Chain A
Amino acid sequence: MRRLLLATSAVVLLLILVVSTRSINPAAPGDSQAVHQAGVQDNTSLRTLQARYKTLSKQLSQLMPREPYILVDTARNRLYVKRHDEVVLNAIASTGSGTILDKPGESKSQWIFDTPRGEFLVKTKLANPTWIKPDWAFIEEGLAVPQNAAERAEQGVLGDYALGFGKGYFIHGTLYTRLLGKNVTHGCIRLNDSDLKGVYQLARVGTPIMIF
């Protein structure tokens, strides 16, 4: 009787084992191998893609400026100094008016007073800058362009500092603070005295300027 009980238990156990094995892995032995291989391949390609995505994300982050950079929104006339995502300085600016002025004697040539868009670098940092008035400054006022270079120099109109970013464009101060927040300049970026001082202190030669 005892032997019969033992044998029955053994058979039941064996049956349970067989049934559970089949329910865990219901496919035939050949199919099971194929599914397993496909699964492994899927996992491998997924892992490869994930690794590639992370590598590319990292490469992109390495192109981002590590030091403070200047951001200029010409539509809303705002200048920011940012470090990563943090806004270090937020200033109301004046940027290009977008107006045009015909060049005298050149029928199809004209000046367009836009602030340039794109990425630039601070190329020069000047204290107590002197404005060397370009030709358009005289023509706009209906005056003759002087032959003597000394007649172009004007002191005090650019504020205490000027940061040049190429082709004659500067971030500088202004006497017309009531026009800050408006598109009124000939392409330069104007700030009030305290913001200009802040930008001058935060930026160095080589600081990126992003303008959109």
Chain B
Amino acid sequence: MMKLCAILILFVFTTPSWGKDFEAFPDLQLSDVQGLKEATRVLEEELKLAARPQTYVLIDLVGSTIQIKGRGIGLHQIPIIRWSSESRNELKGIHKLVARPSVVRRKIDPGAAGEQEPISLADMPADYVLSCSPSMTIAVVPSTAGETLLRGAAILGKSWWHHVQHWASSLFTDTPSTPTPHLQLTIAADHAQSLAWSLVDGMSIVIRRPTDK
């Protein structure tokens, strides 16, 4: 009887992960109603994507990560250094990437002697804008170790240009002004290149937004 009790106690204390429920967002505070609402919305979207054989992108602004995922599994993770958006409420739903960032591909010369130079991560852009459908743009901006005032000014300039473009288009089309939802992500330059490499045309993107507590 004593032995049986000892085995039972050992079993209970040595297998903690068996009984543990999987949590999609381990950083989520279960007492945060708004955070829970956002997490369930994202999960509802993600379930639709994970049910099909494809890879997709989860931009987690709460956890500050960009994840390439498939079947709910995180395949690759990129840390976000900073982000900004003036249209946070519009960043919901599933967006499709219209086209991956362009890359200059080298052409094979048939019959030429020697090895043809392949493309590599270094050939990928580090500073680019992703256009999505329904209408949304994501600017990926590289962060450099010694980020200067000039770089900051360039980022501000881009944001300003985005507003000017929108204003100009609303002038000519004579339609009420509805700005395109825009998100700016600052990530390390090599991570920006890695992201550009991993994206494919038509890839689905879901964004988890922070909530005001």
Contact = CB atoms under 8 A, between A and B. Distances in A.
A123 to B, nearest CB: 13
Interface in A56-79: 56-61, 63-65, 71, 73-75
B197 A71 contact: no
A22 interface: no
B70 A60 contact: no
By secondary structure, the A interface counts as mixed
A183 interface: yes
Given A63-B71, A119-B53, A183 B198 contact: no
B166 interface: no
Given A56-B47, A60-B24, A102-B107, A73 B76 contact: yes
Residue with the greatest number of chain B CB neighbours at <10 A, chosen from A42, A143, A210: A210
A59 B47 contact: yes
Interface in B30-87: 30-31, 33, 36-37, 39-40, 43-44, 46-47, 50-51, 53-55, 68, 70-73, 75-76
A120 interface: yes
A198 B213 CA distance: 51
A53 B39 contact: yes
A2 B2 CA distance: 62
B113 to A, nearest CB: 10
A61 to B, nearest CB: 4
A9 interface: no
A49 interface: yes
A166 B53 CA distance: 14
Interface residues of B, number: 48
Given A100-B105, A101-B108, A210-B73, A117 B118 contact: no
A134 interface: no
A120 to B, nearest CB: 7
B40 A184 contact: no
Given A53-B36, A53-B39, A63-B47, A212 B75 contact: yes
A141 B111 CA distance: 4
A50 to B, nearest CB: 5
A184 B115 CA distance: 9
B21 interface: yes
B22 A61 contact: yes
A84 to B, nearest CB: 9
Given A97-B119, A99-B116, A119-B70, A49 B37 contact: yes
By secondary structure, the B interface counts as loop
A65 B71 contact: yes
A63 B50 CA distance: 7
A90 interface: no
Given A64-B73, A99-B106, A118-B55, A53 B47 contact: no
A183 B71 contact: no
A106 B36 CA distance: 55
Nearest to B33: A46
B8 interface: no
B103 A98 contact: yes
Contacts of A175: none
A118 B119 contact: no
Contact of A50 (B36, B43, B54, B106): B36
Given A50-B36, A73-B76, A97-B116, A58 B107 contact: no
Contacts of A184: 115, 118
B27 interface: no
A139 interface: yes
B28 interface: yes
Contact of B108 (A58, A74, A99, A182): A99
B24 A99 contact: no
A117 B202 CA distance: 12
Interface of A: 42, 45-46, 49-50, 52-54, 56-61, 63-65, 71, 73-75, 97-102, 112, 117-121, 139-143, 182-184, 208, 210-212
